[in-house]
Amino acid sequence: MVSPARPPSQRKAFPLRLDPALYAAIERAAAGDLRSVNAEVECLLREALARRGVKLDPPERARRGRPPKEDDDE
């Protein structure tokens, strides 16, 4: 069962306990990929699920930069 896609601003937060050596390895991998540890964990989980045949919608990219200006005719 595939869950419905959530808007990018609505992300599930939860505590995760990791072995310090595992965290350090993820941190090194994240630095090598220019990602945060959180983004690296998410990427690794998506890759592992894909190898198991679990289909997911591609992640929605966060919007970057300034929001568009609103035209105020005042």
Q: Is residue 42 part of a domain?
A: yes
> Does a structural domain hold residue 74?
no
43 domain-assigned: yes
Calpha distance 28→72 (Å, rounded) = 48
pLDDT at 58 over 90: no
DSSP conformational letter for 65: S
pLDDT tens figures, 27-48? 999 999 999 999 999 999 999 9
Total domains present in the chain: 1
Place of tokens 């005719």: 73
Residue 35 lies in a domain: yes
Percent with pLDDT over 70 in the chain: 84
Tell me: pLDDT of 5 over 80. no
* CA–CA distances in Å: residue 51 to residues 28, 33, 38, 46, 56: 23, 20, 20, 9, 12
Band of the pLDDT at 22, cuts 50, 70, 90?
Answer: very high
- Residue 36 sits in which domain range? 20-51
